[in-house]
Each structure stands twice: as C-alpha cells, then as structure tokens.
Structure 1
Amino acid sequence: MNKIALVKRFLLLVSVIFFASCDKDFNTIGSDIVGEDYFDFTKTEQEVTAYNFPTGPVQTNNLPLNSLGVYNNPVTDLGSTTSHFVTQAELPVSNVIVNSNPVVDSVWVYVPFFSTQTGTDADGIRQYELDSISGDENGADLEDQKFKLKVYENGYYLGNYNPNNTNGTQRHYSDDKDKVEVNKRGATAIDNPASMVNGLPLNNGSLAENDEFFFNDEERIIYKTNGEGEYVDASGVVLTDQGDIGDRVVQERFAPGIWLNLNKAYFAERILKAPADQLANNNTFKNYFRGLYFQVEAIAGQGAMASLDFSKGYIRITYNTDNVLSSPTATEIRLKRTLQLKLGGNCINFFDTSYSLPSNPNRIHLKGGNGSMAYVDLFGADDVSDLDNVPEDLEVLRASGWMINEANLTFYIDKTSMRSDGNPNTEELAPNRIYLYDYKNKKPILDYLADGSTNSANPKYNKRGFGGIIEKDANGDMVKYKIRITEYLKNVIKHKDSTNYRLGIAVSESINLTTNAYLKPASGQQPSAMIPLSSVINPLGTILYSPTSEDPTKRLKLEIYYTKPD
C-alpha cells in the first residue's frame, strides 16, 4: 500500500474527527503511535457474525419519555405501531381545601410538545416548529395525520410494590394494556357526571380534541376576560372590538402541546366534591383518583406519533367557590380558584404493533419499542480442537504485535428497502442514531466512556467520536452508521482472559441514556433479559446490510487500522 497515500488518509481521518466534535475536542486516532519503531499504517477487515432477534413485550413503566399516537411506517417490513399511555396524577399540596359550593369554569389537560420557537406573527402570536414527531416525513402536513384520542379516568391502581418480583419492584410491560382497558372509567351520560366503568370519554370538546385529533403546532393563549367571558383591557374595561386579537391582554401563553378540554361536571364531582380525607395526601389521592388513561385509535391512512415528557403535563381545574366569611356581617363574595394536578407518579406506555421480524439473513432489522435488535460476534468461530475457547481470528490479533490505531463497525443502510412507494427520491424517517454496547454485561463499551465530546445545542449529538449517528451523502441520502470500538478492541486483545466478544446493537433515542429495560419473561418466571432503554422509547426502525449481504461492498465488517513493528 502506498505509504504517502496512507499518511494523507490518516491525516484526513484525524481532521474529520477533530472538527466533528462540537464543544469539546475528542480524538483517539493515532494515540498509540509512539517512537520510530512503528512506520506502517495499514487497514485490514475481518468478517463478523450478526444475529437478529425480536424483543417481544418490553418493560415500559416510568420511562423518561413516552410515545402517543399512531405511526404507520411506509416501509412494510417495519410495520405500524399504536401507542397508548396511562399516568397517575398528584396533588400540589397536602390537605387541599376547596371551600363550599364550587362551580367549575374550565377543566383541561395540557402536555407540551418538544418544540422550538421560530418567530412571531403580526398579532404577536409566537410560531413554533415541532420536534420528536414521526409521521410528517416527505412533506406530510400533521393536520392531515389525525387519529382518535379518548381520555378516561384510570381505574387500575399503579402501585410501586409487587412481592412476587425480585426486590419487590413492580414492573409493567408494553402489552399490559388490558389491565387498564377493562378498568377505565368515564361519565355515565353527557348530562350525568357520575363515574362508571367503560363510561363516556372525558375529553368532550371539539372534534380536534378527540375523534379528529392531530398534533397542532399553534401556540395556545389565554387572554384576560371578565366573569362573562368577554375580553377586557388591562384595567378590566370590556373591549369594543372583541375580534381584534391585537387589543387583547395576554394572561398566559402555552407552547404547542396536547390541549384537551375535559368534562367539567365530572371533575367537579370527582375532585372538588371529593371527601376531605381523599385530598389529604398523595398516597390516598392516588388510590382514590388513579390518574388518566390516553387511549388511541387509528384512522385508516392517517396517523402520527409524538415523543412526550408527560411529567411536564398537568390537569388544571379553574372554579369559583364561596368565600369563608370573617364575621356574620361580612359581605359574601365568590372567589376564583385554581387546582392544578401534576401528571406524575407511576405511568405506563402500551404498544400495539403489526411488526414481525422478517426472516432474511442478509439484512439486520432494528426497530424500537417492542421491535427487534441484534448482537454482533466480532471474531468468528473457535477451533474447538485447541481447547482454548478463544476464536481463531482473535488469536491471530493477539499474536500479531500490532498497535491498534482505530477500529470501527460500519453498518450500511439498505436504501432500497427504506424508500417509500418505490419513489427513489423519498426516504422514510430512519433513527438518527444507533447504539452499540457490551451485550454480555449490558453496559457501555470503553469507547463510549472515553468519549467526552458534547453538543450543548443538541445533547443527542454528544459522544460524536463514538459515533452511531446517521451519515448522509451530499444529496442528503442516508448511507450508513459508523461506530468506533478502538478501546474495546485494544482491551480484548490485551487481556487474554477476556471472553467478552459479543456486542449488542439497537435503535437509540438518546446516547446519554445507558440504563436498561427488562424483556417480559414467561409466565411465572423472573425477568432476566434486558435491552437498552433508549431503544424502548424510540418508535423508529432501520434496515441494514448484514455480514452475509449479497453486496460485498455493503457487508458489515470489522475495520481495523494498525501499525506494525519494523
């Protein structure tokens, strides 16, 4: 191999990594080239083996992010997913006092989307761009991607303790929806606020808030009004032109989010008129009012799915109540009050999916949620006759004396399979990142830990040197994912007692999340198998070329750059 070309290639690799690290510099290429005894920088490729497997139901209680909605992936092999959600609600303080004769003005639930403000229009209304929503790729308008959304009172107690589980921990899984479904509660009738199992949904506002729900990118504004619902100026004087937005006084602004008006009579009865002991503390309240259940139903040919932080959501009840008179001669007035219930405590995400892992050894299918992942064996088979339990390829590496400068696994994307409707100019939304980890010990590998690079503007791009971020060509066409395993490989070569040869690969929502979620065990068994939690909270999927692909140039291989002694 031409020595000058190799040096140029090496310098190019160094510069790429240097400029790619956004806020902190990180570079390991060439870190072990020392002295003048090492003069030749060479690349070699080794075959690996990959195994694809379905995850089945996954643990989904108390996730850091939850999905809601319908995602119909146009890539047939990746199927469709419908996500539902249930959560507890929490009192703001202990011993809530409502006073007498409460009359509800409004009840609504609000959960903000991930969004970025992009500007302000002539009326002072802020404009936003939504983030973390699937279903609007290829220019689709979210207003045309509707689904049915129904909200019920949850009737299934979401406890913390299960004596039958290891350590007494209560776990719930993505296929546990029936536990909540058969216990959901709603209003007895439109004009009857009494609660009953399988009653009417509680989001009884406009069609855009239930049967034709969509992810709306508009800001929500509450303007100052009088007791009659008329807009007033800062002094309380009724505005002459009620239709002029510019004259209204902004009382409160809300970034885009789920906003559902709820049944006022129902919440007056269940919350404001609840027995005092049920509002004494959150332990009793969570058993009395067990939270909200967000049930999703697909509309044929439509749908979108959002990743949400429900812990930032809340139910707000605005009401009027009698004043507590200070003396018999005091004037009785009505007081305006607000009770805000945080969406907190325990929660569960449920997934209904049509996905089934295709049987194709030439491809690796990665899909989040209760989807699929893979593991990679780096060094091939062991010659059992030598009785050392060490793969032969690894024996060669250990005996070579090479100094490993860089090692990578490159996963090429099957762009043909990832295109929609056979249109060569459009591609579906692939995950922005995949995550490689120590499959045996279920933890990050050394290269992940060694990479201190950060991106303050978007933490999802932290650890850029470690990689796994989708790479695209000059036309924006998705090409591959590349992951560095340099330190991992050095460690395996150096420590001859190491048998840690297997790496797991999965879709990732956040590279900063390295904890795991259990896979659902067989009935009566304790859970033991785990996958990265970052895969559970990402609904997307991708199709990659395997080590046995019919295209040799796209096969998954172990790439090693090394120097060797004179």
Structure 2
Amino acid sequence: MNLKKVLIKVTAMVAVVFSVVSCDDDFNSVGSEVIGGVNFQDNEYNATPIAYSKRFERVQTSALPNYLIGVYNDPVYGQSTYNVLSQVLPDRFSPTFGRDAILDSVVLRLPYFSDLTETETNDDGDVVNTFEIDSVYGSSAINLSVYKSDYFLRDFDVDQGSEVRQVYFSNDIIENFGPTVEERLLFSEDNFRVSSNEIRLLSEDTDIDEDDDPQVSTITPGLRLALLSTDAAAAATALNPDPDNDGNTMEDIREGNQELINYFTTLFLDKEGSLELSNANNFHNFFRGIYFKAEAITTEGTLVFFDIAQTNITLHYSFETDNADTEDEDGDGDVTELLRDTGELVLNFSNNVVNSIETNFNTTIEDELASQDEINGEENLYLKGGEGSYIVVDLFNGDILNEDGELENELDFLRRQNWLINEASMKFYINQDAVISGDAEPERIYIFNVDTGEVLVDYQADPTSNAANPIVSIIEHLEPIARDSDDNGEFYKIKLTRHIINLLNEDEDNLRLGVSVSQNVNVINTAEGFTPTNTEDEIIPFSSVISHEGTILYGNGANVPEEKRLKLDIFYTESTTN
C-alpha cells in the first residue's frame, strides 16, 4: 500500500470522527427538539408498591461480625437488653507455668472502639492521651456481671450432620440454656458507666538505680475488671490506695478476690500437664465459656458495640527462676531467696459466640405488627434492628389501566413501552409524628432480595464502595438519611435504576424486596430469622441484627400525606415520531 492511499484512508477516518462528534454535540444541545422527525421527551412514571412489616420473634446471633452488651432504650420501640455468651481458648495449649507458680491476678479486658484525638504533657511531666469513643449508646448506669458458664456450645447441628454449623438465636440464652450459664460469678460492676479516659496502670519500679516512684503504663479506653491475690492487692494498695477516688481502698475493693484467685489456680495452674489443657476440644468441654450479663437500673441504660476478637481474660502469674538474689536486688535484706519471674496465659474469646436480645416492644407497635395487611399494604412501616422488624416491598404486583383504558398487568405494560430509563428510586419518608428525631434515628437503611438475601445489582455497581469507612460507602444506591434544618430525619432514598432496567428487560424476575436498618452497609452476609406467622426460616442481613436502632416510615394509605406516600419514581426518555 503506497503513502497516497494511506493518507486518503486516514483523512476519511478523521472526517468520520468529526462527523460523529458534531452529531453528538447537536443531539446534546437540542434535547427534546425534533431531529430527523424524532422527538425525545423526558417523563416520569410513578408506581405504587405494596409494603408491609414483618416482626421477628428470634434472629440468628451466632457468627456475627460484632456484638453488643448492655441496655438500650429506644424512644419508640422500648427497652432492649443485650447479653453475650462466648467460648474462650488459651493462647497456647499444654502450658507450663514454672516452678512454684503463683497466680497474682486475673484481668478481664473489653476495649471500646475509640480514636486518639489529642496527646499532651501535664504539669507533672506525664503524657496524657485524650480519646473519643465510638459505638457507645446512652450514658446511664447499668449493672454488669461476668460468669463462668457451664453450658456447652456445640460446633455442629446434631440433627443435620457433622458439616452443618450449629446456629444460635437471640432467645436461646434466656429461654433455652437455663441457669447453667451463671455457674459462678467472676466479676461484677454495679453502676457501670462507660468512660472515654485512657486506663493508667501502676507498677513498682524494679530497677535499683531508679527512684521509688511507680512506673505508669496506659491502655486505650475499655472495660477492665481485675481479680487480685492478697499479696497483689497489698502491693496495689501501697501504690494507689484509692484508685477510684471514692473513699474505698484497694483492699476494700478486692476483698474476697483471693477465693476466686484460688479458683482460677485450681482451673489452670494446678492443671499443668492435664488433658483438659492439651487441645481445643478438651478445653471447650472443660472450660465451657464466659457469660456477660447486663441489667437495667432505670428505664435508660448504656449499650456498647464491641469487637469480641479483641476481648480477653489474662492470667498473670509468677514463678521461681534458677537465679538467687545473692546481691539483694529487690532490696528486702534477704540474699538467700530465689528470684521470681512473671508470665501470663491469655484466654481469647472465639469460636461460638451468642448474643441474647430481649426487647420489650411498645404494646401499640406490637399489636400493629401482629396484624399487617400483606395484600394492600400498610400506612406505617416499622423498621427495628436486632430482634426487630423489617419491611417487605412488592413492586408491580397489580393491574393498571393502560392507554386503551383496559386493565393490564403493570409490569407487562412497562415492559412494552421501550423506554430509556434514566433513574428509578424510592423515597421512604419518616413519620416524624411517630418517632423521636435526632441521634436515635438510624443513619442507613438497606435493601435486599427477600428470598435469597442477596444485594441488588445497584449495590454491586455503586462506585462509592468503601469498606474502610462504612459511613460514606454505597451512598449512591443507599443514600444516608436526609435531615431538615433542625436535624430531624426526613427520608431515605434508595436508587434502583439498574435493577428496574434489568426487570423491564426481563433479565430478572420480579421478586419481593426487603428493607432493613443497617449498622454497616458493607456487611452483606445474612442471618436466619423466624417470624410468628412463618414456621420456615426467613432471611435478615447481619447488618440489621447488629443494629439497635429503629424508625417508622410512611407506606401507603388514605391517612398518609400525598407527598409522602411510598412510590417508585421512574424517570425515563421516550421517542415519538411526528
């Protein structure tokens, strides 16, 4: 091919490109004007979904991504109490504790979610960190108790075979497990309140070249409960006689702890070399779990959302070494004693963990949920996390009058229109007369396939996915709550454009949709649930189970303001010929 022919072809291609670009510019600028006898018009179609609520009588609370402990008073739905039962595992099996091992303390640690906001040095030269805690709801005191449990949590469902994982539900601890979950009280904290302060720990200075001031270490905010031996309590009293500044000395606070220290000594140090501590199966049968129990003091309370994987119990012990204190390094005047070293055994919370949820529903709402109209839909739609309720939405399930004045199935009518769908969305308006607006309102709601629990195609295609920050994740498909100038919630908007396009193109079946509250829209795994009207298990997202909040949304009906009725708004472009 010679150069002349090449130049002719290149020139022709450039001309075609410019022609296409020019046509595109003309199309965009003209909009709905007539082009070649075709008129493009933008229009809106409003469909009326049928929507109603379903109340769960129990939901799966094993294998959750996170857990809750405490008491929460929802201003609309009522008070809920959350307790936790968990298995634990030592950080090593067949532990050796050393010669003449003595258990000094047993410390429970449950860290809060927190962010470091400031670090400064005070007048005494101490570094002080300031934290902001997250995922703590309420500020009223509760009573908190921690028990050793004797209820065995099995791994597999004996009725379905050794490969089907056992599922535990929100009502199991209270209704099915019985008093064995409270075999022995280990820790208790009356009038417990969450604090955002870092925890400062004191220890004796063991370096003879330093002064006698205690050493200070700090850990992030959290629940920390300790059992001290008599000797450890005496040492702690000398370092800090009144750690709580409430007039009670350390010895007063730790009175009776020695009995529990002896109990843990029997369970662990005295079991060195035993089969019980040799592997996971034996250990789970020997030490069956820990039970956290919260109790309300008033109608209010405090609820803590925490990561069970970061929670643990640590056994601190000391033991003799082969080195003698010949130079009196500890300064006690005795040079004949053997030096002691320290060690620890950590019990991590893992494997089977169950959240119990006990909700005392508002009687009026309970009655409403017991008589939902699944044929015509409801005026009020009830959303509540935990052992709560969700919404079922039916799209295009009836007949409409078509352009010929005849009854036609709505979906069949839409499928033959050949519209170009620009956007499809639903707005769920909040019934502001029925809820207490503000911080108690859930920030996010979530939509899913009722039959499978799967997210919609719009979720998968959302470009704002951000697992690191769920607050700003999936915000095109699942818009966060819209608030007015007074910070009261107005509505939630869910975009379903791709789902509706697929539905009208017959790429998807017209299945029912579920709508729930969501603590974290990035969590798409689903749990089992049971409603009073259905003996078969239903599906609810885990993100709803771990959410404590609730709201009331408008559905359809004569008493719902016209501008706030639930609709599916379809914005489309159609072409007409002159």
Normalised by the length of structure 2, the TM-score is: 0.77
Give the letter for the 1:530 counterpart: I
Contact 2:428 2:493 in 1 (8 A): yes
Aligned residues: 477
Q: Pick from 489, 500, 525 the counterpart of residue 489 of structure 1.
A: 500
SS in 1 for 2:186: coil
Within 1, Cα distance between the matches of 2:207 and 2:299?
A: 46
Contact 1:435 1:468 in 2 (8 A): no
Aligned to 2:524: 514
Within 2, Cα distance between the matches of 1:64 and 1:456?
A: 14
Contact 2:117 2:132 in 1 (8 A): yes
Aligned to 1:258: 223
Q: Pick from 294, 297, 318 the counterpart of residue 295 of structure 2.
A: 297
Note closer, same or farther for the CA distance 1:180–1:254 as it changes in structure 2 (3 Å cut). farther
Contact 2:143 2:190 in 1 (8 A): yes
In the TM superposition, 1:36-435 aligns within 5 A as 39-75=40-76, 78-121=77-120, 122=122, 123-135=126-138, 142=139, 145-165=140-160, 167-178=163-174, 179-185=176-182, 197=183, 199=184, 201-204=185-188, 210-226=189-205, 235-239=209-213, 249-251=215-217, 253-262=218-227, 263-276=260-273, 277-323=275-321, 332-355=338-361, 357-359=366-368, 361-382=378-399, 392-419=409-436, 427-435=438-446
- For residues 359-387 of structure 1, give each alpha carbon's deviation from its aligned partner in whole angstroms, at most 9, with x where no partner exists: 1731111001111001111114258xxxx
Within 2, Cα distance between the matches of 1:349 and 1:391?
A: 49
Cα deviation, residue 502, structure 1 = 1.5
Note closer, same or farther for the CA distance 1:283–1:526 as it changes in structure 2 (3 Å cut). farther
Within 2, Cα distance between the matches of 1:320 and 1:271?
A: 14
Give the share of equivalent positions with the same residue, in percent.
30
Within 2, Cα distance between the matches of 1:377 and 1:527?
A: 20
Q: Which runs of 5+ in 2 are unaligned?
A: 1-27, 228-259, 325-335, 370-377, 401-406
SS in 2 for 1:82: strand
Within 2, Cα distance between the matches of 1:502 and 1:416?
A: 28
Task: Tell me whether 1:505 sits opposite 2:515 in the alignment.
Answer: yes
Cα deviation, residue 453, structure 1 = 1.3
Aligned to 1:542: 551
Normalised by the length of structure 1, the TM-score is: 0.78
SS in 2 for 1:50: strand
Within 1, Cα distance between the matches of 2:261 and 2:531?
A: 42
- For residues 292-315 of structure 1, give each alpha carbon's deviation from its aligned partner in whole angstroms, at most 9, with x where no partner exists: 100111112330111111111111
SS in 1 for 2:537: coil
Within 1, Cα distance between the matches of 2:96 and 2:281?
A: 17
Within 2, Cα distance between the matches of 1:377 and 1:450?
A: 23
Cα deviation, residue 38, structure 1 = 6.7
Within 1, Cα distance between the matches of 2:46 and 2:208?
A: 72
Query: Which structure: greater strand fraction?
Result: 2
- For residues 323-342 of structure 1, give each alpha carbon's deviation from its aligned partner in whole angstroms, at most 9, with x where no partner exists: 3689xxx9733221111111
Within 2, Cα distance between the matches of 1:125 and 1:224?
A: 17
Contact 1:53 1:357 in 2 (8 A): no
Within 1, Cα distance between the matches of 2:528 and 2:135?
A: 24
Cα deviation, residue 527, structure 1 = 5.5
Within 2, Cα distance between the matches of 1:518 and 1:456?
A: 24
Note closer, same or farther for the CA distance 1:289–1:236 as it changes in structure 2 (3 Å cut). farther
Aligned to 2:8: none
Contact 2:110 2:311 in 1 (8 A): yes
Note closer, same or farther for the CA distance 1:534–1:391 as it changes in structure 2 (3 Å cut). farther
Give the letter for the 1:216 counterpart: S
Contact 2:57 2:531 in 1 (8 A): no
Aligned to 1:440: 451
Contact 2:56 2:531 in 1 (8 A): no
Give the letter for the 2:159 counterpart: N
Within 2, Cα distance between the matches of 1:67 and 1:288?
A: 26
Q: Based on CA coordinates, which of the two structures has the bigger radius of gyration? A: 2
Contact 1:233 1:249 in 2 (8 A): no
Note closer, same or farther for the CA distance 1:494–1:339 as it changes in structure 2 (3 Å cut). same
Give the letter for the 2:89 counterpart: E
Cα deviation, residue 287, structure 1 = 1.4
Contact 2:415 2:504 in 1 (8 A): yes
Give the letter for the 2:451 counterpart: K
Give the letter for the 1:163 counterpart: V
User: Over aligned residues, Cα RMSD in angstroms?
Assistant: 2.9
Note closer, same or farther for the CA distance 1:161–1:412 as it changes in structure 2 (3 Å cut). same
Q: Which runs of 5+ in 1 are unaligned?
A: 1-29, 136-141, 186-196, 205-209, 227-231, 240-247, 384-389, 420-425
Give every structure 1 segment of 4 or more consecutive aligned residues whose post-TM-superposition deviation is greater than 6 Å. 33-36
SS in 2 for 1:529: strand
Within 2, Cα distance between the matches of 1:402 and 1:564?
A: 5
Contact 1:173 1:520 in 2 (8 A): no
Q: Pick from 552, 556, 566 the counterpart of residue 556 of structure 1.
A: 566
Give the letter for the 2:128 counterpart: I
